[in-house]
Amino acid sequence: MKIVVLVKEVPDTYGDRKLSLETGLADRDASEIVIDEICERALELALAYADANQGTDVVVLSLAPDGATATIRKGLAMGAGSAIHICDEALRGADLGLTAETLAAAIRRAGFDLVVAGNASTDGSGGMMPAMVAELLDVPLVSGLSSVEINEGGVSGTRVVESGVQQVSASLPAVISITEALPGPRFPNFKGIMAAKKKPLETLNLADLGVTADDPDTARSIMLAVAEKPPRAAGVKIVDEGDAGEKLANFLIENRLA
Amino acid sequence: MTEFPQNAILVVVEARASGELEQAAAGLFGAAAGAGTPVALVLAAPGAGKAAAAEAASLGAVRVLIAETPDPAVLGVPGVDALASAAEQVQPDAILLSHSLDGRDLAGRYAARTRTAVCVDAVGVSRDEEGVVANHSVYGGAYNVTSTATFGPPVITIRQGAVEARAEAQPETSETLSVTPSGKPAARIDSFDEETAVATRPELRGAAKVVAGGRGLASKEQFALVEQLADTLGAAVGASRAAVDAGYIPHAHQVGQTGVSVSSQLYIALGISGAIQHRAGMQTAKTIVAVNKDADAPIFEIADFGVVGDVFKVVPQLISALEARKK
Ligand SMILES: Cc1cc2nc3c(=O)[nH]c(=O)nc-3n(C[C@H](O)[C@H](O)[C@H](O)COP(=O)(O)OP(=O)(O)OC[C@H]3O[C@@H](n4cnc5c(N)ncnc54)[C@H](O)[C@@H]3O)c2cc1C
């Protein structure tokens, strides 16, 4: 079984994330760049399956600027067998459509039985990449899984939607996305970190994949304007001296909130 | 068949198994009416289309196209096929869907299939000289961004509960859409448990008041205090991720970056430290109140009224003070 895990680099949510007011792009120097937590969970799912099933091939795939090698190596150190890094200046500011086309081309080239992704990234919060990739690869999509069962021929699990809970399944090859209900990642150990240095890491550009960034026949989404909102200021702060509940009640009533 | 309006905005709404439209529908039609003429595509189970169409008209659709799924157990693909047919007929200026799990899947698959541009997680739509544009609030509400498509109608998903505008009810004009199935491979829904519990509290998304609890509540039993205050105020119940992870309350109540974003009139944070990922989902609330033992908790940096104190002392007193005023 060959499992491709989509891994995205994002600005660390623990820091102050900045957008460039000139280009509208993420300011990569303003914050720490990390693997998105949800992608680490996706990788953990694939690795847990590989642990239990010999002969499973786990490939980490990332479309990211050239500085991303460290995060990709982290995926290898956790236990993935190989990695693909798609890196091309023409992908700077790529919209969802171009990103999906590029990822799908790389997945098709690598070959796959299962593609695992997170349900939504913490920066773009688009949550659409798995669907777009599934459509382009012409395989079933099972999105937003909060529990997953993988076997030789298929994948199944629990999917929470607005109106209730579904049990869903699909035959392989397929694309799935998972939620943060799935277990967090393992830490790479020393052995893993050393082994990662010897594992294959392939770097591809758009020409390798036969993708054109500026195809005039394909509509792209563009940013027209970006503005920063002023941060919120603190108001009154009191220390409870036995009557804070009363005071809070007064505050709510005076402001017509109760 | 009559022509579709020149400035049509195609609003795609799903009917639940019970026949009613998804919760986000009213906001979608409200948003569409502000940027053009709402035309609905209603996706429904066999036999449920007509009732759903009537509801769509009451929410503002001037025309309704009904697509009843031949096999409701097939996940996603029939909706994409229906959307492709509807868009071809209507030739809309934009396509609006809810940014729900199913809405995102539908939007993403349709956009990839037709090479249409997507604008995701919008909090509103408007129109400039060149067409429909989407407004977004990104990085936890720190930035406002406007986006659109280079050409063609943008596919826009709208954050649930973000649009307050509502469209005027229209007389029902509906017709059945003929759809050519693509036969694309799809997953199957093997079973479904519809959430039938009668909601006694307001939904978190779009609620005017929210009372949220964090790890500071310390146990599932004690989390009931959050629910008590919510009921006293007629508020929805929210939670931090730590409270969800600890099993005090289901994930659907999580507020924050990877949970629900709320912009309520009132947000009360009880025993929540105010981690940056939590603030990302609630800092656009009009009035923020926080109760926390730790005077240095980051939640106080954004609270309009902060109480440094123990929730188990402050909140019961607050509840009885509020109940006393009611009498
Ligand atoms: C990628 C990512 C995404 C995330 N997404 C989210 C998200 O969507 N939503 C979210 O909430 N978090 C999210 N988090 C987690 C976030 O970083 C915090 O861990 C979480 O918000 C902490 O929850 P908390 O405030 O309840 O718990 P804690 O940080 O443990 O705070 C508990 C607070 O309770 C106070 N307290 C304890 N006892 C009492 C008492 N008796 N009376 C009064 N106060 C008391 C303490 O002083 C403390 O401040 C995310 C993290 C990551 C990495």
CA distance A242 to A231: 32
Residue of B nearest to A178 (CA): B101
Chain A residues in contact with B109 (beta carbon < 8 A):
131-132, 134-135, 141
**Cα angle B260-B263-B264, degrees, rounded to a multiple of 5:** 110
Lowest mean pLDDT among A71-80, B42-51, B167-176, B199-208: B199-208
Q: Choose the closest CB to A141 out of B144, B150, B187.
A: B187
The percentage of residues in chain B with a pLDDT greater than 70, rounded to a whole number, is 98
Kindly state the tokens that stand for A216.
Answer: 């005039």
Q: Which residue has the tokens 């479904």?
A: B192
Closest Cα partner for A211 from A126, A116, A119, A108? A108
Pick B17's closest partner by Cβ from A163, A224, A235. A163
Other beta carbons within 10 Å of B283: 23
pLDDT, tens only, B1-28: 578 999 999 999 999 877 899 989 999 9
Q: Which residues in chain A are contacts of B12 at CB distance < 8 A?
A: none
Structure tokens at B215: 């790890």
pLDDT of residue B19: 84
Q: Are A195 and A79 in contact (CB under 8 A)?
A: no
| Beta carbons within 10 angstroms of residue A169's beta carbon | 17
pLDDT in tens, B251-286: 999 999 999 999 999 999 999 999 999 999 999 999
What's the pLDDT at A230? 86
Residue A24 Cα, ligand 1 centroid: separation in angstroms?
Answer: 30
What is the pLDDT at residue B199?
Answer: 63
ipTM of the complex: 0.94
Q: How far apart are CA B174 and CA B84, in angstroms?
A: 18
- Strands of the sheet containing B266-270, edge to edge, are A236-239, B305-308, B287-292, B266-270, B209-213, B236-239
The whole-number average pLDDT for the span B147-154 is: 96
Name residues whose C-beta falls within 8 Å of residue B223's C-beta, 6 or more positions apart in sequence: B213, B217, B239, B243, B248, B249
Question: Please, which pLDDT band fits residue B327 given cuts at 50, 70 and 90?
Answer: confident
Say yes or no to pLDDT of B52 above 80. yes
- Residue of A139, A219, A222 lying closest to B115 (CB–CB): A219
Cα(A104)–Cα(B183) distance, integer angstroms: 20
Q: Does A25 touch chain B (CB under 8 A)?
A: no
Secondary structure of residue B24 in the 3-state scheme? coil
Q: What is the pLDDT of residue A31?
A: 83
CB atoms within 10 A of CB B251: 17
Which residue from B270, B293, B301 has its CB within 8 A of the most atoms of ligand 1, so it is best to mutate? Answer: B293
Angle (CA) B312 B316 B321, round 5° = 150
Residue A198 has pLDDT above 80, yes or no: yes
Q: Please, what is the Cα angle at B252 between B268 and A122, to 5 degrees? A: 90
Decide: helix, strand or coil at residue B145: strand
Q: How far does B267 lie from chain A, in Å, by closest CA?
A: 10
Confidence category of residue B196, pLDDT binned at 50, 70, 90: low
Average pLDDT, chain B: 95
pTM beyond 0.90: the answer is yes
Of A4-18, B73-87, B150-164, B225-239, which range is least confident?
Answer: A4-18
CA distance B303 to A232: 9
Residues facing B119 on adjacent strands: B156
What is the distance between the alpha carbons of residues B10 and B13, in angstroms, rounded to a whole number?
10
The predicted pLDDT at position A20 comes to: 87
- List all residues of chain A from 70 to 89 with a beta carbon under 8 Å from chain B: none
Is residue A233 scored above 90 in pLDDT?
no
Neighbour count for residue A46 (Cβ, 10 Å): 26
- Compare A97 and A17 and report the one with higher pLDDT: A97
* Eight-class DSSP state of A26: B
Q: Is the pLDDT of residue B311 over 90?
A: yes
| Residues contacting residue A219 through CB under 8 Å, at least 6 positions apart | A97, B115, B116, B117, B149, B150, B151, B152
**Mean pLDDT along residues A111-122:** 96
Mapping DSSP to helix (H, G, I), strand (E, B) and coil, where does residue A52 land?
A: helix
What is the pLDDT confidence band of residue A231, given thresholds at 50, 70 and 90? Answer: confident
In angstroms, the first-to-last Cα distance of chain B is: 60
Q: Which pLDDT score is estimated for A232?
A: 85
- DSSP conformational letter for B74: B
